[in-house]
Structure 1
Amino acid sequence: MRSVSVVVPVLDDADQLAHCLASLSAQTVLPTEVIVVDNGSSDRSVAVAAAAGATVLHEPVRGIGAAASHGYDAATSTLIARVDSDSVLPPDWVECAARRFDDPLVTAVTGPGRFRGLGPVAAVFWDVAYMRAYFLLMTGALARPPLFGSNMVMRRTAWLAVRHRVHRFDPQVHDDVDLSIQFDPAWRTVFDPSLVASVSGTPVRDAVGLVVRTRKAGRTMWTSGMRAFAPGRIMRRVLAGTRAVPVVRRP
């Protein structure tokens, strides 16, 4: 089984972080390391991470992109997983995700989130209107599945190949979409509908937050320019075929 580093960015989310880390410690195949990147928390997030045995890093630049990128840079395993502090993973999450990389052409694996804390009707509505819409619309835009930051694993070599291109210090960019765009069009991202993470339903109850997320999506696509233009991506994939991530030595 390949080694897996799990990166968890956090900002003032101690209670949910505790559940996230507990789910990681209960995996059938334990991650090689868990890296919690604190983005300036004023609550007990750092103490919770330390008590759980995670490696704690500090990112002074506010923004999930900066925090996540800091964690990816520090990861030492063959595979780098990313979940959010509100993600709760099933016990076989690491094992099932890592197995996907038995195919040498797979660059990254991602799966959906299932909102918790919502009523049954609201849960179904937001699954369709938010989660399924995200994967459908972004797959159309990118000509392949996008990464979902609460539930994703990528090869470390892929990160090393694109780390200089991501807009890590722009807090108005969706870091997972930005990373998806920076991947070479010939790299294969697998969407696994059975690889489900439980995520908090709080964000979809925040109307203002939803507007902000929509604006960030537009900025992310605009900032990345032609890399986000589907016809161009499709043409590159047709011309190049599907190829493995190049070997990139860590600087």
Structure 2
Amino acid sequence: MSIVVPAYNEESVIRQCVTAAIYQSVPAHEIIVVDNMSKDSTAQIVRQLQSEYPESRIILLTQDREQGLIPTRNFGLDAATGDVLGRIDADSLLEPDWVEEVQRAFMDSSVQAATGPVIYYDMPMRRFGLKADDKMRQLLLKLSRHEYHFLFGSNMAIRRTAWEAIRDSTCRDEKDEMHEDIDLSLHLAERGLKIQYWPDMVSGMSARRLEDSPKDYRYYVQRFDRTYKAHNIKKIALRAPMAVIFSVYYPAKLLRAIHSANQPPVKRGGV
């Protein structure tokens, strides 16, 4: 399988992301980082990793036609050569058995895409948080009456043939108003292509979204509604994810603040 990582100005996280993708119980066929015209040292760090891990197939691509996650994601998925295409974010930290679990999920030939829970590595009580995240995603499935299994962009994989079936119809979202992973999910559902939720397919991710103001976070959550409207979906049950995800904002933000306050100060200068 291939792992695709879109990246824009991710020098603070890209090394740990790629390193976690390298150290897998079953190695990936290739790890593709797609640099979207970063102005920092993202590309340089990936080149360093290529030198440090010559036995791993780390590929650095540049998408310089347009700025944005969707064209960068598409560029990487189109370039990948695996039968299954993993898609994670630059701040994702894959668990060591992630590739192995993805392969298990796709042993069922009817599965065309898969997604799993996340563990927030910069929050307290991480393992409890993982269980809570899994329960929340199971709840969202139940609330949507299992009509829609939603992919999660930080932790997803899609069969190459399924990507080829939907890539020309996926929304470009030039105004950056939608959830690109939900858009993928809906295009798969429209074609009757099965998405599997796989609880053992675990990725770590940052809770940096909680640094957003309440107004910005609300706009982020409302991307669900804008994505549904683009697909002309009006089912009340699908509004549940918006309510559930927004409801965890304040308690999670408080936990993150407590966690940050208890971290040792960063030492600067000296030996």
Q: Give TM-score scaled by structure 1 length.
A: 0.80
| Runs (5+) with no aligned partner, structure 1 | 232-251
In structure 2, runs of 5+ residues without a counterpart are 51-57, 238-271
Query: Considering only CA atoms, is the larger Rg found in Structure 1 or Structure 2?
Result: 2
Contact residue 117 and residue 137 of structure 2 kept, 8 A: no
Q: Following TM superposition, where does structure 1 have runs of at least 4 consecutive aligned residues deviating by more than 3 angstroms?
A: 130-139, 228-231
2:82 is paired with a residue of what secondary structure? coil
Aligned to 1:243: none
> How far, CA to CA, are the matches of 1:183 and 1:155 in structure 2?
11
Greater shift, 82-91 or 35-44, is seen at: 35-44
1:178 positional shift: 0.3
Find the counterpart in structure 1 of residue 55 from structure 2: none
Shift of residue 83 of structure 1?
A: 0.6
Q: 1:103 to 1:134 in 2, by over 3 A?
A: closer
Give the one of 62, 68, 76 matched to 1:71: 76
- Aligned counterparts, 1:205-224, within 5 A: 205-207=211-213, 208-224=215-231
Give the structure, 1 or 2, with the largest relative contact order (CA under 8 Å, sep 6 or more).
Answer: 1
Partner Cα separation in structure 1 for residue 222 and residue 204 of structure 2: 25
Instruction: Give 1:135 deviation, angstroms.
Output: 6.1
Return the TM-score normalized by structure 2: 0.74
**1:221-246: CA deviations, max 9, x gaps?**
111224x7599xxxxxxxxxxxxxxx
Equivalent of 1:146 in 145, 150, 153: 150
Q: Report the RMSD for the aligned CA atoms in angstroms.
A: 2.6
- Aligned positions of 1:67-146 closer than 5 A: 67-120=72-125, 124=129, 133=136, 136-137=139-140, 140=144, 143-146=147-150
State the shift of 1:57 in Å. 2.0
Q: CA deviation at 1:175?
A: 0.9
Over 3 Å counting, the alpha-carbon distance change for 1:98 and 1:230 in structure 2 is farther
Q: CA 1:159–1:133 in structure 2 vs 1: closer, same or farther (change >3 Å)?
A: same
State the alpha-carbon separation in 1 of the partners of residues 222 and 36 from structure 2.
22
- Quick check: 1:203–1:209 contact (8 Å CA) kept in 2? no
Alignment partners' CA distance in 2, 1:43 and 1:165: 33
Sort the Cα spacing of 1:26 and 1:8 in 2 relative to 1 into closer, same or farther, 3 A. Answer: same
Residues in 1 aligned to 2:158 and 2:104: alpha-carbon distance in whole angstroms? 12
SS at match of 2:182: helix
Matching residue of 1:38: 35
**1:196 maps onto 2:193 in alignment:** no
Counting aligned pairs with the same residue, the percent is 30
**Are positions 1:57 and 2:64 aligned together?**
no
Distance 1:135 1:71 in 2: 29
- Secondary structure, counterpart of 1:70 in structure 2: helix
